[in-house]
Amino acid sequence: MKVLSLILISFMILFGCANEEKQELTEQEAMKNEPHIGKVIDKIPAKGYTYLQVTENKNDFWIAVPTMEIEIGETVYFSRYMVMEDFRSDNIDKSFDQILFVEDARKSPTPDEMKKIHSGVQSTEKQEIKIEPISDGKTVQQIYADKSSLNGELVKVKGKVVKFNKQIMKRNWIHIQDGTGSAEEFDLVLTSDDEVKVGDVIVAEGKVAVDKDFGAGYFFPVIIENAKIDKE
């Protein structure tokens, strides 16, 4: 708990807003480390930092970054940030339902970061997993193979959770594998309001979406959105 408090205090000092922006932090607002890329669609300069509205994967949201020279239409890259809910900035007289306070915003990615961005779409390696498919569902391989005909359809799939990212853009991101699929198409991404843990075996039901744009040339070839999760 002491370590968390020190991280939060240091982060607020970095932005110079510990005194200006009176906002109580909770454990849910701890520092996250996930690569993101967004196109700037609006900006508001402020003392010591800049508010940017960005769009990523067709989602628009606000971030606050240390002062940087960036114009509308340019791309910002970041990975270290805190999510703040119901945030009020008296400095610019604006309230935000949600805003990301970003520590490492920049206009160009490193080669390692580009690899991490791509790994957000697919897990790094295929695991030794064997899951028996459900009778009224599809395997990961079948969903990839039939993605065009399944686009917009509800499907069920059973798999093991190999990666879980909580509450990014107001949704949870779940990667599952079931042991099927090719060398490139073995990892299926789900979005959901439900929470899981790595290692859980789940049955997910959601709508198939194809070619969801992630930005910078990366996209989800297939994704299951708004999935309802049942744990085995």
Q: What is the pLDDT of residues 40-68, one digit of tens each?
A: 999 999 988 899 999 987 789 999 999 99
> Above 80 in pLDDT, residue 219?
no
- pTM metric for this prediction: 0.52
Max Cα separation, the chain? 59
- Decide: helix, strand or coil at residue 38: strand
What pLDDT shows up at residue 8?
A: 44
Which pLDDT score, from 0 to 100, does residue 124 have?
Answer: 57
Classify domain 2-117 by CATH number. Answer: 2.40.50.140
Residue 12 has pLDDT above 70, yes or no: no
Nearest Cα to Cα of residue 85 among 26, 3, 164, 171: 26
Q: What is the pLDDT, as a whole number, of residue 221?
A: 83
Beta pairing class for 94-102 and 59-66: parallel
What are the tens digits of pLDDT across the range 74-133? 989 888 899 999 999 888 999 999 999 999 998 876 555 554 544 444 545 788 999 999
Which carries the bigger pLDDT value, residue 57 or residue 228? 228
pLDDT at 150 over 90: yes
Burial class (CB in 10 A: 0-12, 13-18, 19+), 105: buried
The CA dihedral of 26, 27, 32, 38, to the nearest 10 degrees, is -30
The per-residue pLDDT of the chain, averaged, comes to: 81
| Homologous superfamily (CATH) for 122-231 | Nucleic acid-binding proteins (2.40.50.140)
Domain range summary for the chain, segments of one domain joined by +:
2-117, 122-231
Fold matches, 2-117 and 122-231: yes
In this predicted structure, the answer to whether residue 140 has a pLDDT above a threshold of 60 is: yes
